[in-house]
């Protein structure tokens, strides 16, 4: 077995093409007629926002490689230039499918549900009067028309901004031939992001609509760019508008920071975030019938290739659909509201420190509430026995109660140390503001290690108790973000185990100073020994299988990219180890290859909640070694980030996680399974009970609370009698 060569390109799926297949699975949820309409619009919006980030980071990076002549193929054998070609074909196809769905299904269904997207050429007199007032009072003062001529170059167009490109000529000019482009003036107007993209119009479709009750129920909206195009003549008085079309550009937003040379990392990142808006153009989206003369002007000014122009048959930038999703009064078009439940281990408990001191506590979000984590920090801030709080923050919400509690703790004189990761992509500005707020409150704020992102999720509370100092630790797979915790699936534990506490303190000492990390009791860290630990765990299962015993691996993560891990899994499959992988997004491993990976299955679950937990199970002769982690099986997580892997030792919690795995692997509703080519299909549910794993976990959490309340009530009446 060791002589087999697992380095062949045909054994790997290209990372970028695998990501596009993930986004296609999101698109399939938008197409899924069993999902409520507003949920479908939300999925359609997510497809667009995902593509934005993909172009800004991944495509931009490939273009940079091509520009410097880098031609080394990836593990799948594709060079950067070949990857860009394949990406272009796939994304053009995806965008066409996206807008076909919008025109043929989403807009008609919105209309059927009394939400009308109005064309500017089909307005009633009442609606025109409203728009006239809206433009004059609210829109006109904000707009800035910008013409381009010999003295005024093409302005820098902001990344992801929606704009209107215009060809104009002076009214006093003589009529000129259409092909004499140089006699036309190019102008552009940015659609202001400070105003709502979707504008509500007065109700009532037509003057002669006889159904007055229907008229009161219907909602009419128009896009902001449509209003602007109605009034371009006011912005270019003295000119004749030849044509006008919306366009949008995407720029390179991949930050490059020389941390070793940065005297002030916070200042350098602030500068880099501002520069992100002006990176090289990566993609241009234009209306499908845009005048060719306008396209030529944009293409020349932005130095963009033909294949990087996307002709859009519908409104540009579908992220606006997320805001439409939030409008009031359409509950029947959304999933039924779900309220995260009190975790089973905390039902009826008032003193969180008392509970954690007695047993480890398991948390399964968003089925179980994130509130205990907020309460953990809040109680620590209020408790006079608490001496110190230490916590890592990667992504937090805009109005974070955890930040507030940490600041209050520092203001009360407690020792508060917070590692704020300034390099959390697209959260840099938010994190910079929080870092300043915490420093002002008196917290010790650190920014992590040079060259490494701190991605681990850990919090420690140091408390003085009757028998000495005790450390309470929270470890998790997800961010300390109370908003995303409502729709990201994650797991975590509270523990007062002294070995976990000692390890947690050692990790913080390493992060906050120059302390060399000692040998740890329980925690495994990246970039030091996480990779070797995973390889050791996989190899252990290989050795069991080779000796005729059961070998079993189950792993759940966001992405599987690391080629060394993939080759280890191939070796395990060949040895006879049974491997089930639940990978939400990118998976570069090819399952089901005869003689190579036929013992490996790969499935992905895309549903109401974003699958985010990282869980790793190794059978180990029935001992069932289970670990939770902040890390995916990706080179960046294993080699370039500070990550944590921690074991689950409480048998009760182990059993819960095994049950969660079993339900996840039995999902027949939202799960899709990958074939050898990396294409995903629905699970064949014939002969199997219908099982929606996320729905199951919601119901389970509610049943646990209901059962507790019934038992509590029964006990109360028993005492009364």
* Catalytically active residues, by annotation: 455
Place of tokens 């199970």: 617
Cα torsion at 204, 206, 210, 214 (round to 10°)? -30
Dist CA 223 CA 199 (whole Å): 6
Dist CA 569 CA 520 (whole Å): 27
Helices H / strands E in the chain, number of each: 22, 27
Dist CA 375 CA 379 (whole Å): 6
DSSP 103: I
Place of tokens 């309460």: 375
Dist CA 563 CA 569 (whole Å): 10
**Greatest CA separation for the chain:** 100
Residues in the chain: 721
Beta strands 444-446 and 415-420 are: parallel
Contact 454, 387 (CB under 8 A): no
Dist CA 310 CA 294 (whole Å): 14
Dist CA 593 CA 674 (whole Å): 12
HSE at residue 549, side-chain half, CA atoms within 13 A, is: 10
Dist CA 699 CA 71 (whole Å): 52
Dist CA 604 CA 581 (whole Å): 9
Contact 637, 394 (CB under 8 A): no
Of 669, 659, 647, 651, the closest CA to residue 697 belongs to: 659
What is the SS3 string spanning 627-646? EEECCCECHHHHHCEEEEEE
Dist CA 714 CA 704 (whole Å): 15
Give phi and psi for 650, each to the nearest 5.
-70, 120
Report residue 258 CA to chain centroid gap.
26
């Amino acid at each position: 077995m060791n002589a087999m060569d697992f380095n062949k390109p045909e054994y790997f799926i290209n990372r970028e093409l695998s990501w596009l297949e993930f986004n296609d699975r999101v698109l399939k949820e938008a197409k899924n007629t069993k999902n409520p309409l507003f949920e479908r619009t939300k999925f359609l919006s997510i497809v667009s926002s995902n593509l934005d980030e993909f172009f800004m980071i991944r495509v931009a990076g490939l273009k940079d490689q091509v520009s410097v002549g880098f031609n080394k193929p990836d593990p799948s054998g594709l060079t950067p230039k070949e990857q860009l070609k394949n990406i272009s074909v796939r994304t053009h196809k995806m965008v066409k499918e996206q807008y076909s769905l919008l025109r043929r299904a989403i807009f008609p269904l919105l209309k059927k549900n009394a939400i009308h997207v109005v064309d500017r050429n089909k307005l009633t007199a009442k609606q025109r009067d409203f728009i006239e007032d809206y433009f004059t009072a609210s829109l006109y003062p904000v707009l800035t028309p910008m013409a381009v001529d010999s003295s005024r170059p093409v302005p820098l167009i902001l990344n992801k901004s929606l704009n209107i490109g215009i060809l104009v000529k002076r009214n006093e000019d003589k009529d000129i031939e259409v092909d004499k482009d140089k006699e036309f003036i190019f102008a552009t107007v940015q659609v202001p992001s400070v105003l709502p993209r979707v504008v509500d119009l007065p109700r009532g479709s037509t003057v002669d609509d006889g159904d007055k009750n229907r008229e009161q129920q219907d909602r009419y909206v128009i896009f902001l760019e449509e209003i602007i195009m109605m009034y371009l003549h006011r912005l270019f008085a003295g000119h004749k508008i030849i044509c006008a079309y919306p366009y949008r550009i995407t720029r390179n937003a991949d930050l490059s920071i020389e941390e070793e040379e940065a005297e002030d990392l916070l200042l350098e990142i602030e500068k880099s975030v501002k520069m992100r808006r002006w990176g090289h153009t990566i993609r241009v989206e234009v209306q499908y019938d845009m005048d060719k003369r306008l396209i030529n002007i944009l293409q020349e000014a932005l130095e963009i290739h033909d294949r990087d122009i996307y002709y859009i048959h519908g409104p540009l930038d579908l992220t606006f659909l997320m805001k439409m999703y939030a409008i009031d009064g359409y509950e029947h078009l959304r999933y039924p509201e779900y309220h995260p439940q009190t975790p089973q281990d905390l039902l009826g408990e008032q003193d969180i420190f008392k509970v954690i001191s007695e047993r480890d506590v398991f948390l399964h979000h968003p089925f179980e509430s994130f509130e205990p984590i907020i309460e953990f920090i809040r109680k620590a801030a209020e408790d006079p026995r608490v001496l110190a709080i230490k916590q890592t923050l990667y992504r937090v919400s805009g109005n974070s109660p955890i930040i507030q509690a940490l600041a209050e703790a520092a203001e009360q004189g407690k020792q508060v140390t917070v590692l704020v990761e300034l390099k959390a992509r697209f959260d840099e500005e938010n994190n910079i503001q929080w870092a300043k707020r915490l420093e002002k409150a008196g917290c010790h704020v650190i920014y992590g290690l040079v060259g490494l992102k701190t991605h681990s999720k850990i919090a420690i509370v140091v408390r003085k108790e009757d028998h000495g100092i005790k450390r309470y630790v929270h470890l998790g797979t997800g961010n300390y973000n109370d908003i995303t915790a409502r729709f990201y699936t994650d797991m975590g534990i509270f523990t007062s185990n002294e070995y976990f506490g000692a390890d947690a303190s050692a990790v913080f000492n390493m992060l906050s100073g120059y302390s060399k990390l000692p040998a740890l009791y329980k925690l495994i860290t990246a970039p030091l020994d996480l990779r070797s630990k995973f390889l050791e765990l996989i190899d252990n299962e290989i050795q069991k299988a080779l000796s005729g015993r059961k070998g079993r691996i189950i792993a759940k993560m966001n992405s599987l990219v690391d080629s060394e891990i993939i080759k280890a899994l191939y070796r395990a499959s060949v040895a006879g180890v049974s491997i089930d992988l639940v990978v939400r997004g990118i998976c570069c491993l090819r399952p089901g290859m005869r003689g190579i990976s036929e013992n490996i299955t790969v499935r992905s679950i895309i549903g109401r909640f974003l699958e985010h937990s990282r869980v790793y199970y190794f059978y180990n002769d029935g001992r069932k070694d289970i670990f939770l982690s902040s890390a995916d099986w990706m080179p960046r997580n294993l080699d370039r980030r500070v990550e944590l892997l921690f074991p689950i030792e409480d048998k009760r919690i182990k059993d819960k996680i095994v049950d969660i795995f079993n339900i996840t692997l039995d999902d027949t509703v939202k799960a899709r399974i990958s074939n050898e080519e990396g294409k995903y299909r629905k699970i064949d549910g014939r002969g199997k009970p219908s099982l929606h794993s996320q729905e199951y976990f919601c119901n389970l959490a509610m049943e646990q609370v209901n059962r507790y309340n019934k038992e509590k009530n029964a006990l109360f009446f028993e005492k009364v009698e």
